[in-house]
Amino acid sequence: MHIHVTDQSGTRHTLEALEGFRVMEIIRDWGLDIKAECGGGCACATCHVHVAPDWTDRLYPMQTEEEDMLDAAFDVRDNSRLSCQLLMSEELDGLEVTLAPGTQRGDREAA
């Protein structure tokens, strides 16, 4: 399984992904520049991604906690999700996301 991640500079990365891992963990473990400060607890918005339009309807619906966290994020769009709330599965093989502005380590603009 793989996910495709476009980083904040526009470079596209294809990352091997394991079922059951959070998309945020996959991005972080492959060394891409993502803060992910709370480590997957849905307690910050520093793993914010924009999901490719073809994939938004394939994801589990957003829960209230995630929606509340995104309210504090930078550059929120209709296709915004927290990557810590997306669990890798066979159905998500090939998922395409873009790291949102403000999610880089050392960036003080992010929520």
Decide: helix, strand or coil at residue 90.
helix
Alpha helix locations (H) across the chain? 23-29, 53-56, 64-70
Cα 53 vs. chain centroid, distance in angstroms?
14
pLDDT of residue 81 exceeding 50: yes
Q: Which CATH architecture has domain 2-99?
A: Roll (3.10)
Tokens standing for residue 98: 């873009």
Q: Concatenated DSSP letters for 35-64?
A: --TTSSSSS-STTEEEEPHHHHTTSPPPPH
Dump pLDDT digits (tens) for 17-49.
999 999 999 999 999 999 999 989 999 999 999
pLDDT, one tens digit per residue, over 55-66 is 999 999 999 999
